[in-house]
Structure 1
């Protein structure tokens, strides 16, 4: 009968350490792949927006808070937001443009290449502001030296001088604002002048105060546009389905 110490069991510490290392390494790889997928998608989409709008710097783009790696592998991103401080096209300038995009298709090979010719978007919703100063700038570009200010009840007041039959007449007009054919349409609802306008004179003045404002700076060219007056300008909203960014 042996009286010696019992034999020691197998040491499991190396196995446990190896398991921890494997788990930590896998987590680190997944984190790195997730970071690369998010960064790559945001970079490609930002450049696409930059090319579409012509802004000097790529804008902030966020592909959402959820896991991105699986979205990148399948080539479809659930939620994407884009923010632009100022965007312009010709004489029209919009500020504080933000776009919420749903179902953004960016193929995985395009993500790896870092380039794309167009990004298909299932749903888009944009908001932007046309300030009174920027509206005045556009009016002057079209040969209408008028100043805009809020007038309540969803209207603006435009004030300035108008050439009527060779005579310059001071005119103030209440103007309604509506969305029409992907643009904003300003139409006078009331004219105020020191001397009454009649016949052809009134018709000419109404024509001068009827102004279409194109919304080309919008990312998706103003599909489904609505507009609301604000103390600082006109709040423009646009929505669309099945649109392409960067085409």
Structure 2
């Protein structure tokens, strides 16, 4: 048998339920507005940092496509108030600079800045420093650019078994041979990329000292130190590795001004 409740007892329960629902809806609306505001603030900061990165690249005599900047860490607004950001990633495409008259091209340079310090006033006015505790950069030198520096007709470079591989036509004792082999790749003086071709051979090459001497001289001629352009953000090259897409360059730096504007 259904139990009847007094009307004055039912109404408070219904009003209480409606009040609770209204409060939940209000909280959801406020949370949504905060999320929107947070994302808008991220966009403003990313555009400001991208502008500063472009200035830094130009200042060092290099060129690149417009930087792609992403600010990590959530929520963003608390980072703004604190003036410290967990992570900022920057992607530079088609980075080029003149090195002793030759163009060295990095199709992509990825920069990962950690623990970045930038005051709210700096972002608001565009005046002041944006400084990162650590910056790591990874870029790629295209094999075409590298082959152009070696300046040997028909020479091609690539990756083979984790090594830098070369193939080139060579004239030995009046005959054409296809020379192939690999090189040791290390970081040389002043951050240059050191190429040392020590293991070249050619199918059908005559077993004569003069023929071997020609091959050795060719190997010495293409064993050079490739100077790199000054990388942005004071990045110093630490490692170079041959990959299928090119020579991968790894660099790092500490206490780096992403850009200083006074």
TM-score normalised over the length of structure 2 = 0.69
1:31 corresponds to which of 25, 35, 41:
35
Quick check: 1:97 aligned with 2:112? no
* Equivalent residue number for residue 78 of structure 2: 70
1:50 corresponds to which of 47, 54, 58:
54
Bigger mean CA offset, 75-84 vs 129-138: 129-138
* Equivalent residue number for residue 248 of structure 2: 235
| Matched-pair contact (CA < 8 Å) for 1:123–1:239 | yes
| Matched-pair contact (CA < 8 Å) for 1:157–1:174 | yes
C-alpha deviation, 1:94, in angstroms? 0.7
Distance 1:124 1:217 in 2: 15
CA gap of 1:95–1:56, structure 2 versus 1, over 3 A, is closer
Map Cα deviations across residues 33-64 of structure 1 (whole Å, 9 max, x no partner). Answer: 42332112211111122223345653221111
Unaligned runs of 5+ in 2: 1-6
CA gap of 1:88–1:229, structure 2 versus 1, over 3 A, is same
Mapping 1:103-114, distance limit 5 Å: 103-113=115-125
C-alpha deviation, 1:215, in angstroms? 3.2
Unaligned runs of 5+ in 1: none
**Structure with the higher helix share, 1 or 2:** 2
Bigger mean CA offset, 85-94 vs 222-231: 222-231
Quick check: 1:84 aligned with 2:92? yes
2:236 corresponds to which of 223, 227, 241:
223
SS in 1 for 2:211: coil
CA gap of 1:189–1:119, structure 2 versus 1, over 3 A, is farther
What value does the CA root-mean-square deviation take over the aligned residues? 3.8
SS in 2 for 1:49: helix
* Equivalent residue number for residue 156 of structure 2: 147
SS in 2 for 1:246: strand
C-alpha deviation, 1:77, in angstroms? 0.8
Distance 2:88 2:225 in 1: 31
Runs of 4+ in 1 over 6 A off after TM superposition: 11-22, 201-204
Distance 1:170 1:221 in 2: 44
| Matched-pair contact (CA < 8 Å) for 1:124–1:240 | yes
CA gap of 1:88–1:160, structure 2 versus 1, over 3 A, is farther
1:138 corresponds to which of 149, 168, 181:
149
Distance 2:110 2:139 in 1: 7
CA gap of 1:67–1:241, structure 2 versus 1, over 3 A, is same
- Residue-pair matches, total: 230
CA gap of 1:102–1:153, structure 2 versus 1, over 3 A, is closer
SS in 2 for 1:63: strand
